[in-house]
Structure 1
Amino acid sequence: MSWLSKGAGIASGCILLLASLSITADVILRWLLSAPIPGLFELSELAFAFMVAMALIYVNAARSHITMGLFASITGRTKGLNFVAALLTTIVFVIFAIVLFRHAGDKVLTGERTFLLQLQLGPFWYASATLLAIAAVAQLSVLVQDGKELFRSSSIAAELLVPILSLAALAAITIGLVLYAPQMNAITKVAIGFAILYLLALAHVPIGISMALAGLIGTYAMIGTEAMLLIGGNNLSSAMASADLASVPLFLLMGNLAVSAGFADQIFSAATSLFARIRGGHAIATIIGCAGFGAVSGSSVATTATLGGVAYREMAARNYSPGFATGSIAAGGTLGALIPPSVILIIYCVIAEQPILKAFAASLVPGLLATTLYVGAIVITLRFKPHLAPLPTDEKTVSPLTAILIAWRPILLFAWVVGGITFGIFTAQESAAAGTGVAFLFWLFSGKASVKELAVAARDAIATSAVLYTIIIGANIFGAYLSNAGVTTAVLAVIDPATTPAWLILLVLVAMYIVLGSVFDTVAAMVVTVPFVVPIIVALDYDLIWWGVITLSLVEIGMITPPIGMNVFVMKSVVGDKVPISRIFLGVTPFLVADTVRLVLLIVFPAITLWLPTVMR
């Protein structure tokens, strides 16, 4: 299974690269010669479904799904939890394969074809279903491995205690829902759905699988087996062939190629050469560099990990305070998810059913505001504590034009992608593909190109995407259950906008997201809350695009908030034992103050977020 899973990862990555280059060629041909490639859009939808199913073989075998695992951290015992999580994940993938085969069969029976090329859809879906079945087998091999690890343990009973109690509670809740669903009100049904979800997630079941399983169990209890399979199949197939979601693997591939092409070093060098003579100039350069690199990577963790090593080395060599240096890097990394293109914002838009291009436009000004406030935090901090960053004496600065020449490649890539979106040249998928195409050319002529490096970059992009697809599929299935359970009615019964002040509701939501963002993965914190938060925002008559930017800001603030700010721990992994974790948390304090100011401004003045999308209409 090892060679098969690795081959599937590489093959799916190659298909992703081919798709990105094909879409790039289509965009260029359409705009320059008015001669697009006929039917490419239809083929790309089918290709993405195929490659995601193939990538899941690699993801399952590599155990790459996102988990919370709180019970494991509390008990210190993982073998029993891993075994039960692998068992439930295997069951879900078997269900996924079954419903996708059913979906393929329906396409064959109806004789459905693509509109332009008149290709039969059934064979494509049968191929994807077969790959998903192989992914289930790959997950089964993981289950066997975890079973062997469990039964080799000297304390099997202790290892299985928490998993058995969790399964018993899950069974009791499910039986209660099956027996008494008709008599339950909407609040009870929604509460039971979330109880099942959090029980599974806390017990080490991957977050996407937890949501899918909670949704499937709830739908079965309320409506029956056939409805469960239908809802599962519809949400699975629609996500796998989603044109909007297709931009996620393309943007991730663009970021990977940008890293390989040396964009991070160029961005940081350009920023450093501009601000080197200023007290704290290297910290300012780090913030600017993180904003610039985040614009081409779309990931906070990737931005922190990539720029962390070089930025800390430069600041440490100039006697910066270790806490201040690492704090500025960890905080700057959060800009990677806010400045467009943002993968996390794409996921929010898919779940909340909002236009991605409008969201990208809405996040641009808040992203620039965040960058400006972070720079301000550095200047003000050093005004009162100048010893944190000694004034440099031997640094050379350059003109802005020279800095642009140093970083012309990442600047051009950013302008190509964001400019194309702003002026309506690209759709979300086309902007991602066109950006990937340009990044590929830069990588090809960077002097660092190698076939192995390209294969790994493409494989990692599609593998990460497959993990995100699983989460989104699970969120959609769980959202379908919540809709059937009456989540809007339940939310409005608890929070009545007519009697509860809007500011109080927003304050509670802000606190909730900061706490979740500090403990859980960014994607997990967002997707498990969007289904019940969106009805609240709609009831308050607020704009969902505005709230998406607020949500993204909140979970990113959580990434540098104690006790478990993920970016802080990423930074800790970069510097090792050189800086204690407590000093890094202390170093992000000025930036948390800046984040608070930004958050207040965005909430009090929604026009900061909504102005640019209005201008673009």
Structure 2
Amino acid sequence: MADPVIGLLGLAIMFGLMVLRMPVGMAMLVVGFFGIWIMNGERAANAVLLTETYSATSNYALTVVPLFLLMSNVASVAGFSARLYEAAFAWVGWLRGGLASASILGCAAFSAVSGSSVATAATIGKVALPEMKRFGYADRLATGAIAAGGTLGFLIPPSTGFVIYAILTEESIGQLFMAGILPGLLLTGLFIATVGLMTWLRPDFGPRGAATSGAEKRAALARARPILVVIVVSIGGIYLGVFTPVEAAGVGATLVILMALVAGKLDRGGFAHSCSDTVRTTAMLFLIVIGANVLNPFLALTGLPATLGEAMTSLGLGPYGVLLLVILSYMIFGMFMDGLAMLVVTIPIFFPIIIGLGFDPIWFGVVAVIVIEMGMITPPVGLNVFVVKGVAKAVPMGEIFRGVLPFWCAMLICLVAIIAFPKIALSIPQTMFW
């Protein structure tokens, strides 16, 4: 049996294990370990398992994950996310569909402390969906806005997607974080424009909210000031070179905890719950990284990435034709796979192809994350749709998927813009000194 065929067989077994509900990280680890065993023997497989497990878990850069997760969990427990939503509503609530637009702005702001699409959708959804229901918003618009807005957590820094991408490709976490800012703002604007278009075509989907005075706007913004200060300090510190991403995560987590304690919003039970959630999510992410680090040597032994690269470039489609094939592959995978799983499985295969074609690795990180975001609201898996369904139990799943379709189109427009104008992603990282 040819080595690339062994690689394809290994990937097929891995997907089969995932379908059987084996955790993603464990499925990759099993296939990688036994694949190396079959090709190079037991000693080689044990050596890879030991060395890669140690190198993955001792990677200093991965410290950013639990720290940003802790910051997000404490902010949620302390009620800071609700203040973000209230401030957004005070500023844009007077627009038609203003509650939906405020939800998207709230998702964008909370994304800057959560780093997680699922956490963002769940947190803002719990606050915003009951309000939109009370004001008579169409279920399609309300759930679609939350599901789509939650995907911003995977793009706007600090993004766990960028952290994993950086670990897999050995790129700068700081530059990837900065590369996500302008695309994140662009996508936020496109989402709000989508709400405006939907409510213009169907005014019954979302009524206007009451107008607020300048004093009320400023008061709402002042109530959200603690979390806004944390966002500016942590992300601004990375851009100015004051902090490394890990240091920024530590500073941000400390500030959120102190502010929650001073405000009397964090008790022992809430802090313990935040810590336990952080440990569980961190363990899951670390298992995925370990699994990827064991799977990648197996794929390299089979020569599958190189073979696929040669096959794609031999089609004569040119760099952008090959890029289109990669994007289409991501869209297909997104119908069935979780975002992080898709990232760790595909990057070792696609990254060498993309770099070989001369594309910028930081730019491709943004492109990959946006396409993975699209998968988070694409049927039949659409992880964010299932999260929103958990909050809006009475809304049929089909109605939520119909609601996210216009926002999916907005994400496609954003993706095309970043491909056509790479400076959208690269202008901020290129001004930094590393």
* TM-score class normalised by the smaller sequence: over 0.9
Aligned residue among 391, 400, 404 for 1:588: 404
Aligned residue among 399, 404, 407 for 2:221: 404
| 1:539 CA displacement | 1.9
Q: Distance in 2 between matches of 1:309 and 1:195?
A: 38
One-letter code aligned to 1:585: F
| 1:273 CA displacement | 0.8
Q: Specify the alignment match of 1:604 in structure 2.
A: 420
Q: Distance in 1 between matches of 2:293 and 2:204?
A: 51
| 1:437-480, Cα deviation, whole Å (9 max, x unpaired) | 11110121232221122112112102210111011101011111
| 1:397 CA displacement | 4.1
| 1:222 CA displacement | 2.1
| 1:240 CA displacement | 1.1
Q: Distance in 1 between matches of 2:382 and 2:426?
A: 29
The answer to whether the 8 A contact 1:261-1:442 is kept is: no
> How do residues 234-383 of structure 1 correspond to structure 2 at under 5 angstroms?
234-383=51-200
Aligned residue among 43, 51, 57 for 1:226: 43
Number of aligned pairs?
A: 432
One-letter code aligned to 1:567: N
Q: Specify the alignment match of 1:49 in structure 2.
A: none
1:489 partnered with 2:325: no
| C-alpha distance 538-190 of structure 1, shift in aligned 2 (>3 A) | farther
| 1:433 CA displacement | 0.9
> How do residues 377-526 of structure 1 correspond to structure 2 at under 5 angstroms?
377-392=194-209, 394-398=210-214, 401-496=218-313, 499-526=316-343
The answer to whether the 8 A contact 2:313-2:322 is kept is: no
One-letter code aligned to 1:598: C
| C-alpha distance 561-199 of structure 1, shift in aligned 2 (>3 A) | closer
Q: Distance in 1 between matches of 2:147 and 2:241?
A: 34
The answer to whether the 8 A contact 1:357-1:427 is kept is: yes
TM-score by length of structure 1 reads 0.68
The answer to whether the 8 A contact 2:29-2:290 is kept is: yes
Q: Distance in 2 between matches of 1:522 and 1:343?
A: 10
Q: Distance in 2 between matches of 1:527 and 1:442?
A: 35
Look at both structures and tell me which one has the larger radius of gyration over its CA atoms: 1
| 1:188 CA displacement | 2.5
The answer to whether the 8 A contact 2:94-2:212 is kept is: yes
Q: Distance in 2 between matches of 1:221 and 1:303?
A: 42
Q: Distance in 1 between matches of 2:101 and 2:146?
A: 10
Q: Distance in 1 between matches of 2:306 and 2:155?
A: 32
The answer to whether the 8 A contact 1:297-1:336 is kept is: yes
Q: Specify the alignment match of 1:98 in structure 2.
A: none
One-letter code aligned to 2:167: V
Q: Specify the alignment match of 1:106 in structure 2.
A: none
| 1:506 CA displacement | 2.0
Q: Distance in 2 between matches of 1:321 and 1:346?
A: 36
| C-alpha distance 500-277 of structure 1, shift in aligned 2 (>3 A) | closer
Tell me the SS of whatever aligns to 1:541: coil
The answer to whether the 8 A contact 1:362-1:610 is kept is: yes
| C-alpha distance 587-192 of structure 1, shift in aligned 2 (>3 A) | closer
| 1:497 CA displacement | 5.8
| 1:525-582, Cα deviation, whole Å (9 max, x unpaired) | 21111111112112211112111111111111111122221111111110111x2222
The answer to whether the 8 A contact 1:268-1:289 is kept is: yes
> How do residues 185-204 of structure 1 correspond to structure 2 at under 5 angstroms?
186-204=3-21
Q: Specify the alignment match of 1:575 in structure 2.
A: 392
Q: Distance in 2 between matches of 1:586 and 1:456?
A: 35
Tell me the SS of whatever aligns to 1:563: coil
| 1:328 CA displacement | 0.9
One-letter code aligned to 1:225: E
Mean Cα deviation higher: 364-373 or 274-283 = 274-283
| 1:488 CA displacement | 4.1
| C-alpha distance 598-318 of structure 1, shift in aligned 2 (>3 A) | same
| 1:338 CA displacement | 0.8
> How do residues 57-136 of structure 1 correspond to structure 2 at under 5 angstroms?
none
Q: Distance in 1 between matches of 2:380 and 2:119?
A: 21
Mean Cα deviation higher: 232-241 or 205-214 = 205-214
4+ residue segments displaced more than 4 Å: none
Tell me the SS of whatever aligns to 1:245: helix
| 1:306-326, Cα deviation, whole Å (9 max, x unpaired) | 111221121122221121111
Q: Distance in 1 between matches of 2:375 and 2:257?
A: 33
Q: Distance in 1 between matches of 2:271 and 2:202?
A: 45
The answer to whether the 8 A contact 2:339-2:372 is kept is: yes
Tell me the SS of whatever aligns to 2:113: helix
Q: Distance in 2 between matches of 1:499 and 1:196?
A: 31
| C-alpha distance 243-369 of structure 1, shift in aligned 2 (>3 A) | same
| 1:498 CA displacement | 7.7
Q: Distance in 2 between matches of 1:277 and 1:200?
A: 50
Q: Distance in 1 between matches of 2:161 and 2:336?
A: 17
One-letter code aligned to 2:427: W
| 1:434 CA displacement | 1.0
| 1:474-518, Cα deviation, whole Å (9 max, x unpaired) | 101111122233244312332226823333322222222223223
| 1:192 CA displacement | 3.2
| 1:395 CA displacement | 4.4
TM-score by length of structure 2 reads 0.95
Q: Distance in 1 between matches of 2:142 and 2:27?
A: 38
| 1:349-406, Cα deviation, whole Å (9 max, x unpaired) | 11122110010011111111110111111112222222211234x4434455434312
Q: Specify the alignment match of 1:217 in structure 2.
A: 34
Q: Distance in 2 between matches of 1:391 and 1:359?
A: 37
Q: Specify the alignment match of 1:40 in structure 2.
A: none
RMSD: 1.7
Q: Distance in 2 between matches of 1:196 and 1:324?
A: 39
The answer to whether the 8 A contact 1:497-1:539 is kept is: no
The answer to whether the 8 A contact 2:305-2:348 is kept is: no
Q: Distance in 2 between matches of 1:195 and 1:386?
A: 48
The answer to whether the 8 A contact 1:190-1:490 is kept is: no
| C-alpha distance 533-383 of structure 1, shift in aligned 2 (>3 A) | same
